[in-house]
Amino acid sequence: MSFISYLSMQIERFAFGINDILIYFIPFLEPYLDNHPETIMIVIGFGGQALFATRFIIQWLSSENAGRSVIPVAFWYFSITGGLVLLTYAIWRQDPVIIAGQSVGVFIYARNLYFISKEKKQNQD
């Protein structure tokens, strides 16, 4: 078994756990969720895409307010959060194209947050 397959199975186990919790608290969902267990992961995938898309709205509004192009710190937090959620979804799907794209992106977003943090520390000294 490959590492990606193993991770995919672990993610699926986690999704089934969420599925069981939802059914426990919202019992009327049981007939649907039992027949469509992938629904939880699809919702997670769309959630990641929504987080990822929100970063552009934040950047746009910040630029409009400043009257120039700016990239606020929130842009990077939404980027890394959305990227991690989409990476989780991609691993579950075992999609090497999305895995490669999101892996590189998450690294870049984390690196930018590191630089921002480093600069803030230097400015405080």
Q: Break the chain down into helix, strand, coil percent, rounded to 5.
A: 90, 0, 10
Report whether 12 contacts 18 (CB < 8 A): no
In order along its 125 residues, the chain shows pLDDT tens digits of 799 999 999 999 999 999 999 999 999 988 888 888 788 999 999 999 999 999 999 999 999 999 999 999 999 999 999 999 999 999 999 999 999 999 999 999 999 999 999 999 999 87
Closest CA to 119 of 58, 67, 73, 68: 73
pTM for this entry: 0.86
